[in-house]
Every structure is written in C-alpha cells, then in structure tokens.
Structure 1
Amino acid sequence: MSRNILEVRSLSKRFGGLQAVSNLSFDIAPGEILGLLGPNGAGKTTAFNLIAGFHRLDQGEIRFEGKDIAGMVPHQICQTGIARTFQLSKPFGGLTAIENIMVGAFARASNRTMARHSASELLQFLGLAAKADVDANDLTAFDKRKLELGRALATQPRLLLMDEVVAGATPSEAGEMVELVRRVRDRGITVLIVEHVMKVIMGLSDRVIVMEQGKLIANGIPSEVVRMPEVLKAYFGDGYVSGGEYVSASA
C-alpha cells in the first residue's frame, strides 16, 4: 500500500486549443505542506480544480488514500476527506460568521447542535470568535479569507487544498495566514497550497513543485528549487539566470 496520501499520475486537461495541464505527476505524503508554484497561466489552478473535481480530466489518474477519485464530483470528493478554499472568498451573505462555518460542518454533523459546536471551535481557532454573530458580508476581506478556511476545515478534511491564500493580503496578514496554515498541519491535516508569491510559499512549504505552461518543471525542497535555472527563467526570464543563481528579489 502506498505511503502517500495523494498520488497524481499523468494528469492532462485541454480547453479548446489550450493545453492547460500536460502529463502532470506528483505525490503528497501525509502531514506534508506541499507548495504548488508557477507564474500566472502556468496551469496551477486548473490542476487544483482537477483534483477537487471542478473540472473533468482528459486523461490521468488521481488517487487519495489509495482510492481512485478521478471523475468524482466536488461533493463526493469532499466526503472522501478532501476540502478546498477558493482564491476569491465568497461567504454566504445574510448569514453570520458562525452560520457560514456551520454550512461546512453539516457535511459531517448530524444535527444543528453538533454543527454549531464545531463551528464555534473553529472560530476560536481562526481568531474570529468575537465576530461569530457578525454578518459575513460585513467582515474585512482578510477575515472573509479566514472564514473561507474555517468553512473548509469544518468538513473535517484529511487533505486541504488552498488556493492563493495571501492574494491581496498585507504583510502582517500574510504572516498570520502562514501561521494558520502551519497550525492546520498541526491538526493532522495535509496541505496542498497553490500560490504564485514565491517568497511566502518558500518559507511555508516542506517541499515545492513548480509548473510552467501546464508542465512540471521542478520538484524538491524550497532551498534547492529556488536556485534551479528553469524555475528562475519561468518566473523572471533569461535576464535573471546567471550560473543558476538568483539575481534579483523583485518578486
């Protein structure tokens, strides 16, 4: 039996004339934080959506805890133990913060009392307990992002897929989110995090994989990947590669 919690093999997806993902393969070990990096348009979010069941793959295999999940729809994948956040947070307006998280909790909870208890614990975990009864639409953008995380955690995942978690965040907010991701892993949850901000993900991930034009171009520990000429070229162009060294920190 495989020791990996997730195995992706030869994943491919085309939209018309665009080959968004091409023959992508990688694994995630239990308890790992794996960063999926790449410049805009590299195919990161498409790969993410294939794993989460939001797109149907053209070919390939996705196995979670040894079970083939390719072809499952999102709610079925959620039931297997995979949850996701979205790049753009979209809370349920007209519902309070705690009610938003209860929506996720009902994936496992059999009654309202259980769902509310789970949601209350997660609000505490996220630092949002004081805002439990605030309408979700009245939260700050960053608090909405944390609420998005809480709603996903409420489904009790063993693997969490996180999409662009620090997009638009201030440096202090980005630091808080990084710490939250570490605490999520401390709860026994494996994390696959899609991000294009290299500086953030390099300090958070145990290992990173890098995509360009739909293909995997690097796989390794952050300190090694950041110096790979093919990665630097993908992000910064030929002018930023000199003997495999990082020349500019502008991004």
Structure 2
Amino acid sequence: MSTGSDILLSVRGISKRYGGVQAVKGLSFQLRRGEILGLLGPNGAGKTTAFNMIAGFVGVDEGEIELDGRRISGRKPWDVCAAGLARTFQLSKPFGGMTARENLVVGSLVKTRDRARSLSKADELLDFLGMSTLASTDADNLTAFERRKVELGRALSTEPSLLLMDEVVAGATPQEAMVMVELIKKVRDRGVTVLIIEHVMKVIMGLSDRVIVMNLGELIADGLPADVVRQDAVLKAYFGEDYVDAGA
C-alpha cells in the first residue's frame, strides 16, 4: 500500500459481526486523493456494511479508519460528515416537503450558518447538476433520477473531501446512467475523491481508476479494473468454481 500525504482514506483491519454472521473481516485498503475507487463484490459480500462503518452509521468491532490522517472510526455520522466525508444511498432519500434548493441548503449547514452563502452554494450546485429549472420543485414531485441527483447535490453541499456513493445508476435508464457517470467525473474534477459501490460492470469499468473486490466479508482483489475482473478469485466469487474450472 502507498503511504504519505497522497492517502486520503486509510482503512486498517476493520471487522463487523452480527451474531453468528461475520459481515466484514479484517478489511484493509487505502484511497488516494483524486481517485475514483470502485468497490465490487457479489450480494452479501459486505460492501454496504463496510460503507456504513466508514461513514459512521455502524460501529467498528475491530480496526481503525482514518480520513486525512485523523481517526474517524467510533465517531458519529454527523461528526464524520463534518470531518469531510459525505455519502449517498442506494435508495435516494431527499427531504420530502422541501424543494430541491432547500434540500441542498440543509446539506450546507454542516459547514456554515450563513444563509446567503448556503443559498448561493445551492444554486451553484443545482446548475452543476443541470437542475436549475427545478430549484423550486418539491422533492416529492421529482423523478427517481432527479431525486438521485438532488441527493448527490446535498452530499456535495457539505463540501466533502471524500464522497461515498452506493449504486448510483440503480434503476436508471442507459441515458441517465451516462449522465451520472459524467457527473461523477466532474465531481472528481472539483477535487472530491470518490469511493463507489456499483453492480453495473460497464459503469464501474469505465469510471474507476482502481477497483477493490470483497467476498464473504474479506478483500480478495485490488488493482486496475481490467486486471481485477480476470482474476480467478473474482470470477469464482461471482460465478462459482465450476465456471472457472470449465474455462481452465
């Protein structure tokens, strides 16, 4: 693993058990500044649990997590957010009964109580998302993809250094998926590092600088996308040993 100031996120040996189920076991990886890192793995691999531990939604049984050299494991989600980590969810959860603009203003309260600054930031992000014309629309009246973009904007309004994204193109049309991929690239261009879970292989392959793969709670691969998806351990995790043996 690389060391030094280029490392933004450091995950060292984190584990989580639910009763008799070991959801995550000794997971370690690092994330460099400015990188888009894809987190892959079959259903039940422990990806979302790992996400929740990093974001502070779930406690860590063992191990440590550092963001920009500061320990964030054991801290509350709002404290982790204030430290510079934001996340989106697999199921978008904008605040209903509030406009798209108001949703983004709420996010900015993590860093400022200046209403003028919050409104200005919200308008800038709505323009970035291509949603300026929907600024006054209630979040409940937006399409599923528009709500997903609002959630992304709300996360960005917290001014994060690291953004965690969970299945950002789930349920999206091919055209919407392309729009989201381009938005994520632009997010990185804004100086935000990205860690993303995604099941659509075409999306993750074209978007990620590097990918890591989990299976049964453990890390089984780490490397360039084109290299990782050809590894036997990864193929076995997704398709089973019979598939790999048949191709040998």
TM tier relative to shorter chain:
over 0.9
Say if 2:205 is the partner of 1:202: yes
Q: TM (normalized to structure 2)? A: 0.96
SS in 1 for 2:179: helix
Q: TM (normalized to structure 1)? A: 0.95
Paired residues for 1:115-126 under 5 Å: 115-126=118-129
SS in 2 for 1:223: helix
Paired residues for 1:34-113 under 5 Å: 34-113=37-116
Distance 1:238 1:197 in 2: 22
Say if 2:8 is the partner of 1:17: no
Distance 1:243 1:124 in 2: 51
Say if 2:7 is the partner of 1:4: yes
Percent identity at matched positions?
A: 63
How big is the shift at 1:230? Answer: 1.0
Unmatched 5+ residue regions in structure 2?
Answer: none
> Which residue of the other structure, out of 218, 223, 234, is the alignment partner of 2:237?
234
How big is the shift at 1:232? Answer: 1.2
Map of 2:170 onto structure 1: 167
How big is the shift at 1:3? Answer: 2.8
SS in 2 for 1:36: strand
Distance 2:123 2:203 in 1: 29
Distance 2:242 2:201 in 1: 18
SS in 1 for 2:82: helix
SS in 1 for 2:147: helix
SS in 2 for 1:88: coil
Map of 2:228 onto structure 1: 225
Paired residues for 1:150-189 under 5 Å: 150-189=153-192
In the alignment of these two chains, the number of paired residues is: 245
- For the 8 Å contact 1:227–1:244, the answer to whether it is kept is no
Map of 1:249 onto structure 2: none
Q: Deviations over 1:52-90 (max 9, x none)?
A: 000001000101111111100100001111111111111
Letter in 2 for 1:111: D
Letter in 1 for 2:179: E
Structure 1 runs of 4+ with >3 Å offset: 242-245
CA RMSD of aligned residues (A): 1.3
How big is the shift at 1:200? Answer: 1.3
Distance 1:163 1:48 in 2: 8
Distance 1:59 1:104 in 2: 31
